[in-house]
A and B are shown apart, each in its own frame.
Chain A
Amino acid sequence: MIHAEGLTKHYGTKTAVDAISFTVKPGLVTGFLGPNGAGKSTTMRMIVGLDRPTAGSVTVNGKPYAEHRSPLTEVGALLDAKAIHTGRSAYNHLLAMGATHGIGKSRVNDVIGLTGLETVAGKRVGGFSLGMGQRLGIAAALLGDPATLILDEPVNGLDPEGVIWVRNLARHLAGEGRTIFLSSHLMSEMALTADHLIVLGRGKIIADAPVSEILAASTRTSVRVRTPQVDRLTELLRGPDTTITTAELGLLTVTGLTAPVIGDAAARAGIVLHELTPVAASLEEAYMELTQDDIEYHTEAPPGVNTTTNTSTQEVAR
């Protein structure tokens, strides 16, 4: 359980995180999304006390992270895959980390096995690939068998097998009732892994809802239209809230209008349609829509998911 209340971080005059409040619940995989610079990593660093909040507070399992008697069993965090001395072997890194909490060799060997690092554990970390460094970071996060796991971009640099492994691990640990909080820039990955999403844009929360709800709230459902009379139909459908793109000859993708509206309009104008298919938005599109609105209206308070259904006229420009 992670609970943030009015959490704020300024760097000089720049506001990285702007008075955000949220709760990450146990038993779920909570995804943390946002464009680069949205404040995701800063927020995660404040959770484990690396950065001091300018205002507000954040607690883990009811207490600030630093107040816990055994921090590593409360929270395991992978914040930066490079948070490891390059001159030390993976095994010794884990041994040194664990020693602070009385975590011994057997648990170190456990997490090495768990993360598939057996063959490289004795090698110095400086020679590790990005993927191996990531696995070692995850191994370190798992050392204390923590109740809460925080992973910043965990699949970064992992091969496809590793990506699936992280996904299964996250789901498995959430299934045990642990709190799993992970950030990723891969929306498709989030759709497969997360139950709940917190979307951050410009330091503010712009959505905090179950994945299914965020998908449903998206207005970017589009309609695929196939017609031999592309020019006439395009002319007919053109409007301030409508976007029409052409992927191939005779095939249009229309957003801003529903399939019945397009069908009726075409029938009245006598335009032949060969296909008329509504296409549900992907999470990626829903996310783009959310963050785009945030950038557009970033001076307003973050109202949540509902107001984002108001699409803008800017879409014509797309």
Chain B
Amino acid sequence: MNATTTTTRTYEYRLTGAGIIRSEFIKLRTVRSTVWLYASMVVTSVGIAALVATASGNTSDSPILPLTAATIGTSLGQLVAAVLGVLVVSGEYATGMIRSTISAVPKRLPALGAKMLVLFVTTFVVGLVSTFGALFAALPILGSQGVEADYSDGTLVGSLMLAALYLALVSVFSLGLGTLLRNSAAGIAVALGTILLLPTIMQIISALTQAQWALDLFPYLFSNAGMGMYLPGTGSAGLDQWQSTLIVLAWVAAPVIAGAVLLKRRDA
């Protein structure tokens, strides 16, 4: 029983950035909720694409565009990414795991950085699988309606990559909220509120008061700017995709920076 501890200082262990990233990746993939949430993201995206492609042929004279079919699941996928992002860190607070994490990485910010990087990359990859999976599920159905994908100017492929990027950014935004609020319910409420409720609230305000400013703000809201990233033209106000991307990045930066400052300052 004691054999392995009798050897003092035989091991050469060192805290490294690569090690922290590896640790966070192990953590992400060894919790069931992660696997289920990512799986649901892909399944809903592909399923909805197939569904709308089928439906569009039956109901209208102008069939749905391949880009629209491939990204329509993103509006649901963003909710999954938001929940996942919050849980990655709030789950650690709920269970006390955060104290183990901080004991191993006492400077704290490298652990948060690694969490963000791992979540961002994984969600981006799963987002690519979702959007391109949706495209390839929709294309044969649309093809039978005479609609072909147009790869000529790169808009389609670029927009699908931007959709995946948006999903990844939503997860990081929510991770920031989780770090800030340290509570799953509160984090998910604020994340989903920002994505779903904020546009509705602005719509109600503008409808009730005829306020132009509420309409002007519309393309700058988180989820609207997100849609502006992957559906060129929908952002209104004449925002380009890259401009919408910058707006989304600003939204992401706010909770991430605030969360990082508080993580460093607060007692764990």
Contact = CB atoms under 8 A, between A and B. Distances in A.
A315 interface: no
Category for how many chain A residues contact B: 35 or more
Contact of A103 (B13, B91, B97): B13
Interface in B1-38: 1-2, 4-11, 13-16, 19-20, 22-24, 26-27, 30-33
Contacts of A92: 26, 30
B104 interface: yes
A101 B14 contact: yes
Contacts of B26: 92, 95-96, 99
B4 A80 contact: no
Interface in A41-99: 45, 48-52, 65-66, 69-73, 77, 79-80, 82-89, 92-93, 95-99
A89 B10 CA distance: 27
- Most chain A CB neighbours (cut-off 10 Å) among B98, B107, B268: B268
Given A48-B103, A72-B15, A84 B96 contact: yes
A200 to B, nearest CB: 19
B13 A178 contact: no
Nearest to A48: B103
A114 B99 contact: no
Given A48-B106, A101-B13, A173 B31 contact: no
B214 interface: no
A144 B13 contact: yes
Nearest to A144: B13
Contact of A85 (B2, B24, B92): B92
A145 B9 contact: yes
Interface in A156-170: 165, 168-169
A82 B5 contact: no
A173 B14 contact: no
Nearest to B92: A85
A101 B30 contact: no
B95 A85 contact: yes
B61 interface: no
Contacts of A169: 2, 5
B105 interface: yes
B153 interface: no
A232 B142 CA distance: 108
Nearest to B265: A52
Interface in A95-128: 95-103, 107, 110-111, 113-114, 116
Contacts of B19: 99-102
A99 B23 contact: yes
B3 to A, nearest CB: 9
A307 to B, nearest CB: 34
Contacts of A102: 13-14, 16, 19
Contact of A172 (B5, B23, B31): B5
B69 to A, nearest CB: 35
A97 B100 contact: yes
A101 B104 contact: yes
Interface of B: 1-2, 4-11, 13-16, 19-20, 22-24, 26-27, 30-33, 91-92, 95-100, 102-107, 265, 267-268
13 contacts: A49-B103, A73-B13, A84-B95, A84-B100, A99-B20, A100-B19, A102-B14, A103-B13, A107-B11, A145-B10, A168-B2, A169-B2, A176-B5
